[in-house]
Amino acid sequence: MSLFSVAVIVVLVLLVAYAISLYNALVRLKHGVSKAWANIDVLLKQRHEELPKLVETCKQYMAHERTTLEQVINARQAVSTARQQGDVGALGKAESGLRAGLGQLFALAENYPELKANESFKHLQQRISGLENGIADRRELYNESVNLNNVRIEQFPDVLIARAMAFKPAELLQFTEAEKADVNLKSLFS
C-alpha cells in the first residue's frame, strides 16, 4: 500500500469520526431540549393539580368574584391542553392568561381577611407561588437549551449533518408582553 493510499484512508477515517462526533453532539442537544421541556412539564402538572384546590378554597369566601375564578379555571384548562399537545406557542399564551388570572385572584384575596387567614389558602398560595418560580427558572433553562440547539443546527459544519439527518429547530417558550408587565393592583380594587 502506498503512502498516498494510507494518507487518504487516515483522512477519511478522521472525517467520518468528526461527522459522528458532530452528529452525537446534535443528538445530545436535541435530547437536552426534551429533558428541559419534561422538567417544565412536571411543574405544570403539579400546578394543574393545585389550582382546583385553590379555586375551591376561594369559592367559599369569594362567591361574587366568579369572573376571576372562572378566568383561572379556563386558563388552567388552556395550559393543560397546550401542555398535552406539546404546543409551546399556545402554552406561552395560555400561561400568560393563567398568570394574569392568578395575579388578580391573589390581589382580590386582599379584600377577604377571612380568606387570607385561612391556612389552606395560605398553604396553596405559597405552593403555587413556589411552583410559579420553579416554572420561571425551568423556562429559562428550557429556552437556553433551545437556543443552543437552534444555533448548533445552523452553524457550519453542523448544519450539514443537521440537514442530512433532519434535525429541526425547537420553539422558545415565550410569554406575551401583557404577562411580563407589572400588575396594576389599583385597578383591581376600583
pLDDT 10s digits, 45-65? 998 888 888 888 887 777 767
59, 63, 69, 73: CA torsion to nearest 10 = 60
Half-sphere exposure of 164 (CA within 13 A, CB side): 11
Give the chain's mean pLDDT: 85
Residue 15 confidence (pLDDT) = 94
Q: Is 142 helix (H, G, I), strand (E, B) or coil?
A: helix
Total of domains in the chain: 1
> Given this model, what pLDDT does residue 180 score?
47
Q: Looking at residues 151-160, what average pLDDT do you find?
A: 93
Q: What is the pLDDT of residue 149?
A: 95
Burial class (CB in 10 A: 0-12, 13-18, 19+), 5: exposed
pTM passes above 0.85: no
> Percent of the chain having pLDDT more than 90?
43
Most confident region among 60-64, 120-124, 149-153, 181-185 by mean pLDDT: 149-153
Q: Provide the CATH number for the domain around residue 174.
A: 1.20.1440.20
Collapse the DSSP code of 157 into the 3-class scheme (helix H, G, I; strand E, B; otherwise coil) and give the result: coil
pLDDT of residue 37: 92
pLDDT of residue 186: 44
- Residue 110 pLDDT: 82
Residue 187 reports pLDDT greater than 50:
no
Domain residue limits at 71 = 3-188
